Amino acid sequence: MSENNDVPLLLPARMLNEAVYCERLFYLEWVQGRFVHNADTVKGHSTHTRVDRPGGRLAQANEDKPQVARSVTLSSEELGVIATIDLVESGDVDVVRPVDYKKGVAPDVPEGAYEPERVQVCLQGLLLREAGYSCDSGVLYFAGSRTRVTVPFDDTLIARTHEAIDRARQVAAREQPPQPLIDSPKCPRCSLVGLCLPDETNTLTARQEQPARRLIPTDESAQPLYVTTQGAYVGISAGRIEVRKNKEKLASTRLIDVSQLCLYGNVQVSSQVFRAAFRESVPVCFFSYGGWFQGLAEGLPSKHVDLRRRQLMASLRDDVATAAAFVDGKIRNCRTFLRRNARSEAVDSARTVSVLYDLARQTSECSTMQQLLGVEGSAARMYFTDFPSMLADSARPLYAPAGPLLRSRRPPLDPLNCLLSYLYALLTKDLTATCYSVGLDPYVGLFHRPRFGRPALALDLMEEFRPLIADSVAVNLINNGEVGEGDFVHRAVGVALTDTGRRSVLRAYERRLSSEVRHPMFGYTVTYRRILEVQVRLFAAYLLGEVDRYTPFRTR
Residues of each annotated binding site for Mn(2+) = 376, 448, 463
Distance CA 50, CA 71 (A): 9
Q: Binding site, residues? A: 376, 448, 463
Q: In this structure, which amino acid lies at residue 511?
A: R
CB-count exposure of residue 160 (10 Å: 0-12, 13-18, 19+) = middle
Nearest to 327 by CA among 454, 446, 455: 446
CA atoms within 13 A on the CB side of 18: 21
Cβ of 255: how many Cβ atoms within 10 Å?
A: 19
Please name every residue paired with 149 in a beta bridge, in sequence order, or none if there are none: 140
Q: In this structure, which amino acid lies at residue 196?
A: C
DSSP for 345-357, written as a single string: T-HHHHHHHHHHH
Distance CA 334, CA 379 (A): 9
Q: Which parts of 237-346 fold into alpha helices (H)?
A: 271-279, 305-316, 320-341
Nearest to 464 by CA among 371, 536, 381: 536
- 218: region left, alpha or beta (phi > 0 left; psi from -120 to 50 alpha): alpha
Rg for the chain (alpha carbons), in Å?
28
Nearest to 359 by CA among 331, 393, 317, 333: 331
DSSP for 316-339, written as a single string: HTT-HHHHHHHHHHHHHHHHHHHH
Asked if 528 and 218 touch (Cβ cutoff 8 Å), the reply is no
Asked if 329 and 553 touch (Cβ cutoff 8 Å), the reply is yes
Q: In this structure, which amino acid lies at residue 200?
A: E
